[in-house]
Amino acid sequence: MAYMLFYALLFSVIISGTVLYLTRSRWLHLLPVPDYIYDRLPSSFTADVEAGLSSTEFDIASNIASGDSRAGLDIRAKREVQAIMRNQHVNFDEARRIYTTQRFAKNNIGPDGRPRDPKFVSFS
């Protein structure tokens, strides 16, 4: 009887583990995992370039050449852009565009840069 219970428990753990593994892309982002567990993001412009967070359209080489002492790009934005690059398999420029569009949408700003507020008045 104990063997039957052990095998049933083992079988259910294996099946549950397999289902969780195969569906991890749907629920993994919901877990409150500390940021330092995944990876350490660079904290200087030189490290940002080495991490692939630069392109011809978004060149931070001038910051490096001028000896900029700031900590580099925004850590939260870097993390989100890298997640977009990894999940959607796009390059840095496209991931930056997607990130900016998402930020605009969160702040009720249209893709063209104009506010969507119905009370907004502009004079041209």
**Structure confidence by residue, pLDDT tens digits, 27-79:** 877 877 665 555 555 566 667 776 777 776 776 777 677 776 666 667 788 88
Assess whether 38 and 77 both reside in one domain. Answer: yes
Residues 71 and 82: their CA atoms lie apart, in Å, by: 18
Does a structural domain hold residue 124? no
Does a structural domain hold residue 90? yes
What is this structure's pTM? 0.55
**Rounded average pLDDT over 116-123:** 78
Cα dihedral sign for 67, 70, 72, 77?
A: negative
pLDDT score for 86: 85
Assess whether 20 and 7 both reside in one domain. Answer: yes
Domain of 9 in residue numbering reads as 1-32
Assess whether 28 and 53 both reside in one domain. Answer: no
pLDDT score for 33: 65
**Rounded average pLDDT over 5-29:** 91
